[in-house]
Amino acid sequence: MSFPQTDRLRQNPEDGWDVPGYDVIELIGRGGMGAVYKARQHSLNRVVAVKILSTEIDNEQLDFATRFRVEAMAMARLAHPNIVSVHDFGETASGRFFYIMEFVEGTDLAKKLQSTEKLPVSEALRIILTVCEALERAHSEGVVHRDIKPSNILIHTSGLVKVADFGLAKMDDPSTATLTLSGTTMGSHGYAAPEVFARASTADHRADIYSLGVLLYEMLTGSVPRGMFKLPSEKVPELGTGFDSLICQALEEDREERFQSVAELRAALSELEHSHALLLVPQQSLTPLPSSPRPWRWMIGSGVAAAVAAACLLAPYSTDVSAPPASALAPKVTPEPDTQDSPAAEFHGHRYQYISGAWTWKQAEANAASLGGHLVTLTSPEENHWVWTQFSPYLPPNDKRALTERGWWVGGRPLETSGQWKWINEEPFDYTCWSILKPPPARTPRLRQHNNGGGGRLSAWSPVHYSQPCGYVVEWDEVKAGSSVSVPRKVIDLLPQIDVERDAISGAWTRDGSDLVVKAGPITEAGTTRLQLPYVPPEEYDFEIEFTSEAGINSIQQILSAQGRPFTWQMDVKIEGGVKSGFNLINKIRVSDRKEGTAMHPHFLAHGRRHVSRLEVRKNGLRAIIDGREIVRWRAGKDGFLALDIAAPEALRDKLHLGLAAVNRTVRFHRISVREFTGSGQIDLTLKTAAK
């Protein structure tokens, strides 16, 4: 655990230190429950943090030892890369309880904000999304933090973010629900939700959502929202208005009006992440809509309770504010195991297909466009009924179907001003099939077709928040039989097919559970650290990997093949003046030496966070998408892909296969898949083990 260096005090190892098996190095800090020390563990010769219960505890106060034990238990049960790990719990010879946790070398968010006041949007989003992932894990285990604030967000020197200090955590154990300390209050003023101060024992996971709203506001504006505070766009005009509604909803006094889960908040944040080029500088400008006057928000009470005056309504949702064109957005696919894409089918001269997975509306709209179509528009009872009966068999079985899996996105959205609905392709919105008696108001975000609730072959429409994921139906207008439109056929999961002994060409490749891990060094005489996947792709396909960078600062590569030409996609190529990603080689020129088919960006892909890289290979060119953002688009010339080639150190055994490579990087691959379009690929398990 790491605190500001200026607060650290040298501590005499003989002064009350009696934790067996550990030598104290220094005092990190003191709090209401005790002290935290930096220490060295004898048995493993590693640096750890040791938290020791204070000796100055009044026995008439609450069972402080129980609260201390709850904190240790809460952190120990939450195995997650973004939560500080607890290694052990014990009692000293003098009767003081302690627990051992990992030591995070670096700083904390409070210290970072003291030095910079506010953070760049990309950095603020990276931190808040990572904290969301950690809290999702905690909430799934029945643990509510209740004290999210900058000093409890640790930032490793590598950039890895970790949530610390579960001293005020509430667990789903009834025996711990009412624990508090006499004479103290739960939570931190300015960050804790109103209900934490009103009656801490009733606070649930939505209290953490309130704190996340405060945290995000402070990172973006440099101040904590107190009293009558301005919206983020009024404090920092260059932010645009995209954050206003999100933060206001997170800071609602009534927890029923907040986001109802961290997952819901994270989905809304992801939409904003797309709009702000989190990791990579986009190749286009963003044009915000004109901003309208916004109301003030009002927070009253001694910096604790939040209330909103009657006239201070939430700004309406607008998914278009400061947003790039739909074609620039791309999906983060998380297919459910019981779902599958349907075959394409035709109806009255149009072609349709159900695409499974967990897509937000924006992602679905963008992916449908990338396929050459659009989200389906249901303009007649016949079409509405045909689409439902044709594709509903591809939804999960009823007994395994969550609310968001009972239907799919269609191309309906509200007009910004009039309260009316429209189809995205401007067809007349005359036919409707609402699941309610009257059309929903314009502030309701997007349209979903689903079962009408009575089972059978009937469907209905409902408005659903754009961030709630589900599959979608894509429609191609006037597509005739035999058309050249690329329609996806199936998804091939390659990770289970990999045999490290057979497929690795060079370097240290290992299996860790279901993950594939590579620890890559520099380029040697054997070339890059690389592995040939046991798969030959079809003519058109998407090659997608989900991965976590764990260490190192150089490239991660996907090796591709198209039209008989092997080539690579290289991410995080370190060059003078920055970092670059791009296709390699083009006209025999490396990524580092050209602009065509490449993009500069300010930072390496963050360690400790999952990323998704998807490469779309089509007859007329290539498109690269990282974390839902289009990075590079390359168009083939009149000679097709002849301009593409692969450097000898990156070559595979067979130029028609796909592959992976890395240089000076430790990478964990969670998913490796191909979505086939034109033609069918081939699994090839015949390669012999190669000498390393």
Cβ contacts of residue 14 below 8 Å, gap of 6+? none
Q: Within 13 Å and on the Cβ side, how many CA atoms surround 27?
A: 16
| pLDDT-based confidence at residue 59 (cuts at 50, 70, 90) | very low
Q: Residue 502: what pLDDT?
A: 94
Tokens in use for 192? 């804790």
Query: Strands 682-683 and 535-536, how do they pair?
Result: antiparallel
Give CA–CA dist 194/425, Å, rounded. Answer: 45
In percent, how much of the chain has pLDDT > 90? Answer: 25
Domain extents for the chain? Answer: 5-102, 108-161+185-324, 328-476, 490-683
Residue 168, pLDDT > 80, answer: no
Instruction: Identify which of 408, 658, 688, 625 has the alpha carbon closest to the alpha carbon of residue 536.
Output: 658
Domain at 108-161+185-324, CATH from 3.30.450.70, 3.40.190.10, 1.20.1250.20, 1.10.510.10: 1.10.510.10
Q: Residue 162: what pLDDT?
A: 92
| pLDDT-based confidence at residue 309 (cuts at 50, 70, 90) | very low
| pLDDT-based confidence at residue 198 (cuts at 50, 70, 90) | low
Residue 356, pLDDT > 50, answer: yes
Q: Residue 660: what pLDDT?
A: 97
- 275-303: average pLDDT: 35
Contact 50, 36 (CB under 8 A): yes
Instruction: Identify which of 573, 666, 627 has the alpha carbon closest to the alpha carbon of residue 279.
Output: 627
Dump pLDDT digits (tens) for 366-424. Answer: 888 877 789 999 988 888 888 988 888 877 665 444 444 568 899 988 775 556 788 98
- 563-574: average pLDDT: 92
Q: Residue 518: what pLDDT?
A: 97
- 607-628: average pLDDT: 86
Q: Within 13 Å and on the Cβ side, how many CA atoms surround 286?
A: 21
Provide the CATH topology of domain 490-683.
Jelly Rolls (2.60.120)
Q: Is 399 a catalytic residue?
A: no
For the domain bounded by 5-102, which CATH number is listed? 3.30.200.20
3-class secondary structure, 604: coil
Q: Residue 416: what pLDDT?
A: 59
- 51 in a known ligand binding site: yes
In percent, how much of the chain has pLDDT > 70? Answer: 72
Residue 338, pLDDT > 80, answer: no
Q: Could you tell me which residue, 357 or 472, shows the higher pLDDT?
A: 472
| pLDDT-based confidence at residue 613 (cuts at 50, 70, 90) | very high
Q: What backbone phi and psi angles, to 5 degrees, belong to 412?
A: -105, 140
Contact 205, 212 (CB under 8 A): no
Q: Could you tell me which residue, 676 or 127, shows the higher pLDDT?
A: 127
Contact 561, 644 (CB under 8 A): no
Q: Could you tell me which residue, 104 or 181, shows the higher pLDDT?
A: 104
Q: How many CB atoms lie within 10 A of CB 511?
A: 12
Residue 507, pLDDT > 60, answer: yes
DSSP state of 110: H
Residue 562, pLDDT > 50, answer: yes
Q: Could you tell me which residue, 505 or 342, shows the higher pLDDT?
A: 505
Question: Facing residues of 665 across strands?
Answer: 552
Q: Residue 109: what pLDDT?
A: 94
Residue 170, pLDDT > 70, answer: no
CA gyration radius, the chain = 27
- 106-119: average pLDDT: 91
Active-site residue (options: 147, 503, 542, 572): 147
What top-level class would CATH report for the domain 328-476?
alpha beta
Between 21-35, 163-177, 263-277, 349-363, the lowest mean confidence (pLDDT) is in: 163-177
- 144-163: average pLDDT: 89
Q: Residue 419: what pLDDT?
A: 61
CA distances from 619 to 238, 331, 586, 591 (A): 40, 21, 16, 22
| pLDDT-based confidence at residue 654 (cuts at 50, 70, 90) | very high
- ω before 585 within 30° of 0 (cis)? yes
Q: Residue 276: what pLDDT?
A: 52
- 169-185: average pLDDT: 45
Query: Strands 470-476 and 529-532, how do they pair?
Result: unpaired
Instruction: Identify which of 476, 528, 483 has the alpha carbon closest to the alpha carbon of residue 507.
Output: 528
Specify the DSSP element, H or E, that contains 504.
strand 504-506
Tokens in use for 120? 């760049």
DSSP state of 329: B
Mean residue pLDDT across the chain: 75
Give CA–CA dist 506/528, Å, rounded. Answer: 7
3-class secondary structure, 528: coil
Residue 74, pLDDT > 60, answer: yes
Contact 421, 429 (CB under 8 A): yes
